[in-house]
Amino acid sequence: MNEIISQYFDLSEMSKHFDQVLDGFVLTLELSLIAGTLALLWGLILSLLRQVPGKPFLPVRFLTVAYIDVFRGIPLLMIILLISGSLAFLPLPDAITIPHWLGKPDTFWYGVMALTITYGAYMAEVYRAGIEAVPGGQMEAARSLGMSHGQAMRNVIVPQAVRKVFAPLLNDFIALMKDTTLVGVIALNEVAHVGRDIQGEAFNSSALTLGAIMFLIVTLPLARLVDKLISREQSRFTRGAPRVEAL
Contact residues toward another protein (CB under 8 A) are: 54-55, 135, 137-138, 140-147, 151, 155-156, 159-160, 163
Q: How far is the CB of 136 from another protein (least distance, A)?
A: 9
DSSP code for 146: T
Q: How far is the CB of 134 from another protein (least distance, A)?
A: 9
Residue closer to another protein (CB basis): 112 or 161 = 161
Residue closer to another protein (CB basis): 35 or 134 = 134
Q: How far is the CB of 53 from another protein (least distance, A)?
A: 8
Q: How far is the CB of 38 from another protein (least distance, A)?
A: 26
Q: How far is the CB of 146 from another protein (least distance, A)?
A: 4
Alpha-carbon gap, residue 205 to 193, rounded angstroms: 12
Helix (H) or strand (E) holding 64: helix 58-73
Contact 123, 39 (CB under 8 A): yes
User: At 157, phi and psi to the nearest 5?
Assistant: -80, -55
Residue closer to another protein (CB basis): 139 or 169 = 139
156's CB contacts (< 8 A; 6+ apart) are 138, 139, 141, 142, 147
Residue closer to another protein (CB basis): 48 or 192 = 48
Contact 133, 147 (CB under 8 A): no
Alpha-carbon gap, residue 110 to 78, rounded angstroms: 12
Residue closer to another protein (CB basis): 85 or 135 = 135
